[in-house]
Structure 1
Amino acid sequence: MRSFLLRLAVRWQPQHNDDEERAALALGPPPSPCPLQEEDGAAPPPLGTTHGVDDGSDGDLAAVNGAHLVEKWQSTTAAAKPQAWWSLVTAIVAPTRGVGVGLVITGFVLVAFLLAGTRSSSWPWIHLDYYSSAFQLRGGRGDSIRRPPHHVPSSVANLVPVPFSCSGNETHTSTSPLSAGACHRPHAAATSPSPSPSASAEPTSSERKRPAPSRCPAYFRYIHSDLSPWRNTGITRDAVERGRGRAAFRLVVLDGRAYVETYHRVFQTRDSFTLWGIAQLLARYPGRVPDLDLMFNCEDMPELRARDFPRPSEAPPLFRYCKDDATLDIVFPDWSFWGWPEVNIRPWAPLLQEMDNETRRLPWTEREPYAQWKGNPGVSAMRKDLLRCNVSDKMDWNARLFRQDWGAAIRRGFKNSNLAKQCTYRYKIFVQGRSWSVSEKYILACDSPMLLVATPYRDFFSRGLVAGKHYWPIDPAHKCPSVKFAVDWGNAHPAQAQRMAEQGSSFAREEMSMDYVYDYMLHLLTEYARLLRYKPTVPENAIELCPESLACTAQGRERQFMMESREKYVANYEPCTLPPPFTASELRDIAHREEEVFRKFLIF
């Protein structure tokens, strides 16, 4: 998704190297125009006061340990000709030390224009009903607001339980997230309750009675796009091993069993919970994950720049959590879907249910009529610049921006830090972290319109989000007037604002349910395995992966979240049906309509 951000990626993408991810620790929090807040989740700041907290939902929270990430930004040629709305700015937005007179004057002119527009009962140039349906192109993007269920639930009595038992003989070392000697179950392929999708055996009578599998959400089509560099040539062992220097671990699946060779540990428990998710996939769909061999990088920044590989097929296939239009990395669901113990964020399934219950208790019309953001501004210039939009005694941009001291939050036991109870504003702002941010799914699920500050980075599901339907786009070069305009417009058109909120939260609940997260993983790994041109073998230093090899030696919240997200029964249904790749004409239509939407929403 967001092909319109290709040029923006060039302007905004920071320079980076491996050392940045492990930046030196600092004694204090990064500088910010917002002083720390005394209490998490406190009331909105009064005029003249600026505060800030972090939502605990960014893929780059080194600030938990007080780290200060230093970012370097690429320069932009002054002579470059503007080609799109984001090119109207002559300089890159950086952390703002002071607001220039020219910017203030320009801002007030824009606000005057926007406020004048809010008094009109007719907004002919923004028609959310149109943009909500504009991307319904032959199953391409923008599925209907209500999806059919992923599958028909079966009685527990008819389900096959997934065995789980800790023997007490597991041994754990600091060099690997896995414990050796923990996996003692029979061969996965021999215990599979149903044939793999490629099998041709005659279906049983019970299988014939099952409803047809659901169609996967539209964002699954990007699986084909991510793997396209190797579609014609295939993937050799040499190509995979060229990615070793960039990888945290190597995953091999052979005859239904998984093995992991660890190269280095990563920030917090990203690797542990990523591997836990893969172990749950193997437990849910035993025998269905084909033989494969892959390298996985757990850092923030995409690394495989397309410009470094004149022949894309020569790039090493490397799995990670995000990418942009200028890189060739393969996108995989991030660890937080199974929990983030360091910041007390529960696994996605129980947290999503809790958020749904909480949002029903506070209707949209009863929420604070402002746009809220809670995050760590120290990880990106984009976030630091957003803080200029906070309410003051001189200007109210309709934004309520908060910052949190994670060290203090940890010491207080995460008091008032439950994400499910933070959906108390009518609008929620999403702004990227160091690259992508895992906070997007939590913001989307709040049942408030998401005001998305345009970013070139995307994870596996965000490519299915449609501007004008699931979120309101915010111009990164004019954040403050863009936010004010969106809030004024939404408050003047509550029915349409609530429709956007419902579309976004429905996407989070239905198209991003764990059923579809696991199906995305299964389809991605299956399509990847088809490209391998060799038979994988188990690395010499690999440890077998199973739920016990991770959970049996885990403690505290790490163990708690693993148990909350453990797959307890084998799936007795088929995964969703993978849609075909995009055609060239569909991609052109998507790009054209995205441009149209952004020009309408960012007309000023």
Structure 2
Amino acid sequence: MEHNWYDEENSNFGSRSKRVYRYVLDTIWLPILSGVSTATSRSSVRVLFFVIFMFVAAALSTRLLDATVSSIAETPLASSVQTTKTVHIEPTVTSVIPEKPVTKQPTETVINEPTITQVIPKKPPKKIEMPLKCSLDILNKTCPADYYPKQFDIQDLEYVSEPPLECPEYFRWIHEDLKPWKETGITEEMVLSAKRTANFRLVILNGRAYVETYQKSFQSRDTFTLWGILQLLRRYPGKVPDLDLMFDCVDWPVILKKFYHGPNAPAPPPLFRYCSDDSTLDIVFPDWSFWGWPEIDLRPWGSLLQDLEEGNRRTKWVDREPYAYWKGNPIVAETRMDLLKCNVSDQQDWNARVYAQDWFKESQQGYKQSDLASQCVHRYKIYIEGSAWSVSDKYILACDSVTFVVKPRYYDFFTRGLMPVHHYWPIKEDDKCRSIKFAVDWGNSHKQKAQQIGKAASSFIQDDLKMDRVYDYMLHLLTEYSKLLKYKPTIPEKAVELCSESMACSSQGFEKDFMMESLIKGPAQVHPCTMPPPYEPQALKSLLRRKTNSVLQVEKWEKGYFENQSNPQT
């Protein structure tokens, strides 16, 4: 008897299914069919239906099992499961469906079941904290024998998997600042020639700092500059190269270009300081106030930046006073004394609200009127230089207000990254009052654009001048500088080893508070940002021309504004 209802060649079932059906056909189905023809009792019918039910259930189960395995082998799984490939990420949990024993037939191919690997996302690297090791011995300001990062194996450091960010655009000025020594390199004689005005000499060898002090700086400038460098060593252990440099903590740059210009001119002394200008070659470096200014109770920048951001949210720009605000010490510079003339009077309102800061009185009152975060209540804020550049620039720019920059002479390490009319509004130095009045009137009649300028500046400060970027700038500047050295630095005879313990453990008052507040507690687990390439000469010229044209455009608007006021159309 033949049964053509089952076509083995066209069956959709696998080889295992074929064997099952052949077995059922020969041993169960044919006897049942034969029995049906002779079955006369009710019990035989019941047995028949029970056997048919079991046969259908077995067939469906076999089909579902084959379909499930085939689906796993042919269909990509979710992101947490991979097939035929094991991704080795610790820890890994692997689940494997075991193979069923199969008797190989001569005409059949046996396909192994796939390995299913469940991948658990990698845990973030364990944060390493290295507290200070203060003891009674540290009171003599010496470093412990095993202080961090002296005793630290960089191989133990784990990094997050994200690739490093690209550094902000203003990092490109590092190449320009070091260009005077690109051809000649830097010899030890060049470094020593900068000693004349330097406050200290810094040598870094194998990640350890040695300092020879020549003269104490004004207030705690040198102290917190060195503290900042020590925090750099703690943040990036093993990354700061060996180097030898001179540092001048006075405001005014002194390395004049005109003495080092020409084919036969000597190479200039490499001298670090906080600011420079277009006529000098001093190498700009982040100022001490990023780690605190205890003499005026100015907290470290990392903490203060958060306070400024919160202060911005207290008062919306449109709800702020529609005037230009400035508060500072006017007696340090003639240009600031001139600014006082722009204050409101019975005869004239130049849209400016200018206040002289009495630091002695402030110190007596606990600096209650000097809270920078509570001063973001005006739509416009004025930045004006003092005896040279002023540390106030970053605090003013962070306020969401439109910053009025009275034409500056000096620059620090980040201000060359600012663009007139995009990040700030330029103010004439020789006609301040009229320039301020026009700027305020323009902003109050172009509120949306004015808010955009204020927001662009505060975003620049929050993103490109946070402490992560400050440390990255220091690292890249010192790294590029060290590449120019033509000698192996050695420890000066009168130098002393400096570490965070020798500075912080014996300090007191605001100085100790700010050191502990700005202490880097352990190595960074993110890579420093990627240094951008130098400017191409034509690109640099184009950038400077764009800045100049932006200022000229504002002056043109201002001129037209006052001409219209003098000759109103009838």
TM range (shorter): 0.7 to 0.9
Indicate yes or no: 2:227 matched with 1:265: no
Q: Deviation string for 1:50-73 (max 9, x for gaps)?
A: xxxxxxxxxxxxxxxxxxxxxxxx
Select 1:160's aligned residue among 107, 113, 128. Answer: 128
Residue 230 of structure 1 contacts residue 313 of structure 1 at CA under 8 Å; is this kept in 2? no
User: What is the SS of the residue equivalent to 1:163?
Assistant: coil
User: What is the SS of the residue equivalent to 1:289?
Assistant: coil
User: What is the SS of the residue equivalent to 2:210?
Assistant: strand
Select 2:165's aligned residue among 204, 207, 214. Answer: 214
| Aligned-pair CA distance for 1:163 | 3.3
Residue 172 of structure 2 contacts residue 534 of structure 2 at CA under 8 Å; is this kept in 1? yes
Select 1:235's aligned residue among 186, 198, 209. Answer: 186
What is the distance in 1 between the residues matched to 2:124 and 2:196? 45
| Aligned-pair CA distance for 1:416 | 2.4
1:488–1:519 Cα change, 3 Å: same
Select 2:245's aligned residue among 294, 297, 314. Answer: 294
User: What is the SS of the residue equivalent to 2:410?
Assistant: coil
What is the distance in 2 between the residues matched to 1:573 and 1:485? 46
Q: Which residue of 2 aligns with 1:407?
A: 360
Q: Which residue of 1 aligns with 2:260?
A: 309
Indicate yes or no: 2:508 matched with 1:540: no
1:379–1:462 Cα change, 3 Å: same
Q: Which residue of 1 aligns with 2:397?
A: 444
Indicate yes or no: 2:340 matched with 1:387: yes
Q: Which has the higher helix share?
A: 2
| Aligned-pair CA distance for 1:192 | 2.0
Correspondence 1:202-601 to 2 at 5 A: 210-310=161-261, 314-601=267-554
User: What is the SS of the residue equivalent to 2:502?
Assistant: helix
Correspondence 1:79-94 to 2 at 5 A: none
Amino acid at match of 1:564: E
Q: Which residue of 2 aligns with 1:70?
A: none
Amino acid at match of 1:270: R
What is the distance in 2 between the residues matched to 1:530 and 1:313? 20
What is the distance in 2 between the residues matched to 1:231 and 1:591? 22
1:327–1:183 Cα change, 3 Å: farther
| Aligned-pair CA distance for 1:310 | 2.7
What is the distance in 2 between the residues matched to 1:281 and 1:187? 10
What is the distance in 2 between the residues matched to 1:155 and 1:339? 35
1:236–1:418 Cα change, 3 Å: same
User: What is the SS of the residue equivalent to 2:387?
Assistant: coil
What is the distance in 1 between the residues matched to 2:390 and 2:144? 33
Say what the alpha-carbon RMSD is for the aligned residues: 1.7
What is the distance in 2 between the residues matched to 1:444 and 1:156? 35
What is the distance in 1 between the residues matched to 2:127 and 2:187? 39
| Aligned-pair CA distance for 1:182 | 4.8
Amino acid at match of 1:188: K
What is the distance in 1 between the residues matched to 2:448 and 2:266? 49
Residue 187 of structure 2 contacts residue 485 of structure 2 at CA under 8 Å; is this kept in 1? yes
What is the distance in 2 between the residues matched to 1:181 and 1:520? 27
Shifted more, 530-539 versus 180-189: the winner is 180-189
Amino acid at match of 1:568: K
User: What is the SS of the residue equivalent to 1:416?
Assistant: helix
User: What is the SS of the residue equivalent to 1:575?
Assistant: coil
What is the distance in 1 between the residues matched to 2:508 and 2:438? 47
Q: Deviation string for 1:528-565 (max 9, x for gaps)?
A: 00000000001111111211111111101110011111
Structure 1 stretches of at least 4 aligned residues deviating more than 6 Å after TM superposition: 154-157
Amino acid at match of 1:598: V
1:274–1:301 Cα change, 3 Å: same
What is the distance in 2 between the residues matched to 1:446 and 1:304? 34
Amino acid at match of 1:163: P
1:499–1:577 Cα change, 3 Å: same
Question: What residue ranges of structure 1 are gaps of 5+ in the alignment?
Answer: 1-153, 173-178, 196-205
TM-score by length of 1: 0.70
User: What is the SS of the residue equivalent to 1:544?
Assistant: strand
Question: What residue ranges of structure 2 are gaps of 5+ in the alignment?
Answer: 1-121, 560-570
Rg comparison, structure with higher value? 2
Residue 223 of structure 1 contacts residue 524 of structure 1 at CA under 8 Å; is this kept in 2? yes
What is the distance in 1 between the residues matched to 2:289 and 2:330? 20
1:370–1:155 Cα change, 3 Å: farther
1:410–1:186 Cα change, 3 Å: closer
Percent identical among aligned pairs is 52
Correspondence 1:106-145 to 2 at 5 A: none
Residue 183 of structure 1 contacts residue 546 of structure 1 at CA under 8 Å; is this kept in 2? no
